Amino acid sequence: MLVLGIESSCDETGAAVVRDGRYLLSNVVASQIEIHNRYGGVVPEVASRQQIAAIIPVVETALAQASCSWDDLDAISATYGPGLAGSLLVGLTVGKTLALARNKPFLGVNHLEAHLYANWLRDEPAPAEDAVEAALREQPGDPLFPLICLVISGAHSEIVLVREHGDYQLLGRTRDDAAGEALDKVSRVLGLGYPGGPAIQRMAQQAEDAYVEQKKSVKKARNVYRLPRAWLRGTYDFSFSGVKTAMLHLAEGATDATRTHEEGKPSTQYTRYTRMGEQAAQAGAPDVALLASGFQEAIVDVLAVKTRMAAQEYQVKQVILAGGVAANLSLRARMRQELQPLGIRLSYPSIDFCTDNAAMIASAAFFHLSLGERHGMELDVQPGLSLPFRK
C-alpha cells in the first residue's frame, strides 16, 4: 500500500511517500528553523504563512522523488493534531482537498502517535510489493510488543506502555517543563541558540573530548556543580524545572557578579547555584561546555533510569524512543547501557525521523488504513490532541 503523508503541525512542512508503513520512497521537508532561530522558537503566525507558500511544491517534490503518479497512490494522510492550529490547518486542508479531488481514501493522523511509528521506518529499499495482510503482520526489524515508549520533545516527556498497535497506557509524564523545552531554555541562557538540544549536545561533546584528551575525568569535573535530579520516586513522572532553574542561577552567578540582588546581597549570593557559578567564574572563565555537559547528563540520567525501571516493571521486550530529543546521542548511548544487561531491545528512529517529518505520518496512517479506518471531509484540526490512552 502506497501512502502519501503530509505534516505541518509546527515549524516544518513535509510530504512523503511510504510503502506498507515501513519503506521510504521519498521524504521532503521544508525547514523553517533558520527563520525561527531569530525568535528563539516557533512563532505560529510566521510558521503558517511559510507553510502556505511551501506546501504545494513540497507535495509535488515528494511525488516526483518517489517516481509515483497520483494513480499509484492508495491513500492520502495528514496530521490533524496536536500542534499549532494555523499550521495544522494548512496541511490538513491540502490533504483532504487532494483526497477529494483524486478520489482517494483519507486519514487524519495523530502527530504524537506518528512519532512512535517513526520506529517502523527503515532505510533499506522496499521489497517486492506485499499484500496488505502480509504487511500488517510483524516483519523482521519491527519493534516487538509489548513495549515501552519514551516520548520526548519540546512539548512532551511521557513514558507510555504500548501493548499492541493502538493500545496506549500512560505511565508517567512531566509535571512542569518538557525535556526539550528545558534544553531550549537553558541553551538560550547559556547563549548557545535554538534549537537547544543539538546546541547543548555539541557543547557537551566539546567538553567531553577535551577531558578525554587531557586524560581527565569529565564526570568528576562536572560533578563540581552537583545539579539536582527530580526522581519523584514511586511514580514515572518527570520534573525538569528544578534543574533548569539551577542552571539559570549557575549562569547568573558566573556572568552577572556585578549586579546587586534585591535582598541587598550581591546577586550571585542568593542560592547555592549562584554561589557555585560565582566560584566557577572566580576560578577562571566559566566553562560553558562543562555546564552544558552536566546539564545534559542530569536530564539523560533521569530519563534513562526511569524508562529502564518501567521496562523492568512491565516486563517488555523492547523500548523505543520517539520525538525530537530521541536524536540526542548521549541519551541513546545511556539507554543502551541501561537496557543491554537486561536483554531488552532498544530502537530509535534515524536522526531525520526523530524530528518532525511526513514519513512517520504516512507510516502511522498505513496501520490505521489497513484496519479499515477512514476519515471524512468534516475532520477538523485538534491542537490539543493527546495519545488515545486507555482509561
Partner 1 sequence: MREERDVDLSVQDGSCSLEVVSQRASQTQRIGMALGGLLQAGDLILLDGQLGAGKTTFTQGLAKGMHVTDVVNSPTFTLLKEYMGSQSRDQKESAGAPLALYHFDLYRLDDPDEIVDLGFEDYFYGSGVCVVEWAGNADELWPADRLYIRLSTVDETKRRLLFVATGQRYCELLQQLQKNMYAITRS
Residues that bind partner 1 (CB under 8 A): 39-45, 82, 84, 86, 154-155, 173-178, 180-181, 185, 189, 241, 244-245, 248-249, 262-263, 270-273, 383-384
Supply the minimum distance, in Å, between the C-beta of residue 288 and partner 1: 17
The type of residue at 205 is Q
Residue 368 marked in a binding site: no
Supply the minimum distance, in Å, between the C-beta of residue 315 and partner 1: 27
In the bound state with partner 1, the residue whose beta carbon lies nearer, of 95 and 324, is 324
Letter string b/e over residues 323-339, b meaning 16 or more CB atoms within 10 A of that residue's CB: bbbbbbebbbebbeebb
In the bound state with partner 1, the residue whose beta carbon lies nearer, of 73 and 276, is 276
Residue 343 marked in a binding site: no
CA distance 360 to 376: 21
In the bound state with partner 1, the residue whose beta carbon lies nearer, of 20 and 356, is 356
Residue 153 marked in a binding site: yes
Residue 193 marked in a binding site: no
**What DSSP string runs through 8-39?**
-SSSEEEEEEEETTTEEEEEEEEE-HHHHHTT
Residue 37 marked in a binding site: no
111 contacts: CB under 8 Å, gap ≥ 6: 7, 9, 79, 81, 82, 83, 356, 361, 385
Residue 326 marked in a binding site: no
* Long-range contacts formed by 154-157: CB under 8 A, 24+ apart: 154/178, 154/180, 154/181, 154/184, 154/324, 155/82, 155/180, 155/181, 156/112, 156/180, 156/323, 157/238, 157/240, 157/303
In the bound state with partner 1, the residue whose beta carbon lies nearer, of 174 and 255, is 174
Letter string b/e over residues 16-40, b meaning 16 or more CB atoms within 10 A of that residue's CB: bbbbbbbbbbbbbbbebeeebeeee
Supply the minimum distance, in Å, between the C-beta of residue 351 and partner 1: 20
In the bound state with partner 1, the residue whose beta carbon lies nearer, of 81 and 108, is 81
> How many residues are recorded in the chain?
391
CA distance 14 to 379: 20
Residue 115 marked in a binding site: yes
Residue 261 marked in a binding site: no
Q: Which sign does the torsion angle of CA 187, 189, 190, 193 carry?
A: positive
In the bound state with partner 1, the residue whose beta carbon lies nearer, of 194 and 367, is 194
In the bound state with partner 1, the residue whose beta carbon lies nearer, of 46 and 329, is 46
Annotated binding-site members: 111, 115, 151-155, 184, 197, 328, 356
Annotated binding-site members for substrate: 151-155, 184, 197, 328
